[in-house]
Amino acid sequence: MKLQLLSRWGCRLLLGAMAALLAVLGVTSAAADTKLTVYTALEAEELEPLRKAFRAEHPDIDINWVRDSTGIITAKMLAEIDAGNPQADVFLGTSATSLLVVDAKGMLLPYAPKGLDKLDSKFRDARNPPHWVGVDAYAAVVCYNTIESGKSNLPKPSSWQDLLDPVYKGHLVMPNPNSSGTGFLTVSSWIQIMGEDAAWAFMDAIHENMARYTHSGSKPCRLAAAGEHAIGISFVFRGAKLIKKGAPLELVLPKEGIGWEVEASGILKTSKKIEAAKTLIDWHISPAAMKVFNDYLPIIAIPELATPVAHFPENTLEMMIDNDFGWAADNRKRILGEWQKRYDAKSEPKG
C-alpha cells in the first residue's frame, strides 16, 4: 500500500510539474491582441525592429511573421491558395513580381492606404485603388572576397561578361532563381539586358564556373564573406551588412547594369482580419516605417526621406536597369522552367 501511495504521489507530482511547465510556456507565448499572419521575404533582421515600431503605435495588433526566400514563400502562398486554405492575412515585403503572380489568382484586395500620394510612382500598382504598394527596392550585386581572391589570383570582375573567364571556375556561387527572388531578378535582368538567346548562352557559360546554386539570395554573399567561395552573386543589402560585420568583401556593380525589384505588399482577400491588415499596410508606408526600412536600404518609396546607408555603393541607383515587372511576371514560369531544365536537372557540373 505504501509503495502504491508513493508511486501515485510520484506520478501526480510529475503530471503536476508537466502541467505547470506547459502553463508557463503557454502564458509566455499567448497574447490577447489581434494577431496578423504575415508572409514575407524581408530579411530576418528587419522583422523584429519593424514589429516593434509597429507595436509602438498599434499595441492592439501583433504580427506573426512567416519568412522565407521569395520563391519559397510565394510557392507556399500559391499552394495554400490552391488547397483552399490560405493562412496569411498580409503578403508583405516580397518582390512585386510575386505580388503580381498572387494577384493573377484574384487574391489581392485592392486598397488605397493612407499616404499613398506620397509614394514615388515606381513603388505602387498603377491601378486605382492599387492592388499592391511598395516600400523599397533591392538590387543585385557581386560580392568579391578580397583575401581569398588574392590567394587564388582572381582578378576583380567589372562586368557580368568578366565572370565567364575560366579563372573563376569553382569560385562562383549564385542563388537558384526558382527559390530565391535575387536569383530570379538577376536572371530576368540578364535576359532584359542581353536579349533572350544571348542571355541563355551567357548562363550556359557561367554555369561552367559555378561551384553551386544556393537556396537563398543571402547565402552566396555569406559564403563569399566566409571565404568558402571567393565570389557570390547576391544583393547589395546583404553585402553592405557583411562588410559592416568585418567581412573582407568588395561590392561590384557590373557595368552592364544590375537587376532590382520593389519590395511590395498587399492584403489577402480571404483574411478575416481586414481592418487590422489595412492598419498594417497604412503604417508600413508611413514615415515612421520608412525610417526602419531606410536603416537597411537607401532606396525607399518616399525618396525625399531617404538617407544613405553605410557601405552601399553610391551609384547603386544609376546602375539599376529599366526593369519591366509586368514582363517578368508574365514570363516568370517559363524562364524558371527553362532554367530548371538546363541547370538544375544536371546532377553535377562537368569537371
Q: Which residues are at the interface with another protein (CB under 8 A)?
A: 2-4, 6-8, 10-11, 18, 21-22, 25-26, 28-29, 37, 44-45, 48, 64, 66-69, 71-72, 75-76, 78-80, 82-85, 87-88, 147, 176, 178-179, 212, 214-216, 218-223, 225-229, 245-248, 340, 344-349
Q: Which is nearer to another protein, 179 or 189 (CB)?
A: 179
- Compute the distance between CA of residue 263 and CA of residue 133 in angstroms, rounded to an integer: 9
Q: Report in angstroms how near the CB of residue 240 gets to another protein at its nearest.
A: 15
- Compute the distance between CA of residue 252 and CA of residue 258 in angstroms, rounded to an integer: 10
The phi and psi torsions of 183 (rounded to 5 degrees) equal -60, -45
- Compute the distance between CA of residue 125 and CA of residue 141 in angstroms, rounded to an integer: 26
Q: Report in angstroms how near the CB of residue 317 gets to another protein at its nearest.
A: 26
Q: Is the peptide bond before 248 cis (omega within 30 degrees of 0)?
A: no
Q: Report in angstroms how near the CB of residue 207 gets to another protein at its nearest.
A: 12
Q: Report in angstroms how near the CB of residue 115 gets to another protein at its nearest.
A: 28
Q: Which is nearer to another protein, 107 or 221 (CB)?
A: 221
Q: Which is nearer to another protein, 84 or 308 (CB)?
A: 84
Q: Report in angstroms how near the CB of residue 50 gets to another protein at its nearest.
A: 12
Q: Which is nearer to another protein, 133 or 225 (CB)?
A: 225
- Between CA 120 and CA 126, with CA 121 as vertex, the angle to 5 degrees is 150
Q: Report in angstroms how near the CB of residue 24 gets to another protein at its nearest.
A: 10
Q: Which is nearer to another protein, 119 or 185 (CB)?
A: 185
Q: What is the largest CA-CA distance in the chain?
A: 87
Q: Which is nearer to another protein, 115 or 227 (CB)?
A: 227
- Compute CA 90 distance to the chain's CA centroid, rounded to the nearest angstrom: 15
The phi and psi torsions of 119 (rounded to 5 degrees) equal -75, 140
Q: Report in angstroms how near the CB of residue 119 gets to another protein at its nearest.
A: 28
Q: Which is nearer to another protein, 131 or 219 (CB)?
A: 219
Three-state secondary structure call for residue 174 = strand
- Compute the distance between CA of residue 295 and CA of residue 17 in angstroms, rounded to an integer: 45
- Compute the distance between CA of residue 321 and CA of residue 303 in angstroms, rounded to an integer: 18
Q: Which is nearer to another protein, 79 or 305 (CB)?
A: 79
- Compute the distance between CA of residue 251 and CA of residue 213 in angstroms, rounded to an integer: 19
- Compute the distance between CA of residue 116 and CA of residue 224 in angstroms, rounded to an integer: 39
Nearest partner of 96 among 142, 38, 135, judged by Cα: 135
How many other C-beta atoms lie within 10 A of the C-beta of residue 165? 13
Q: Report in angstroms how near the CB of residue 339 gets to another protein at its nearest.
A: 12
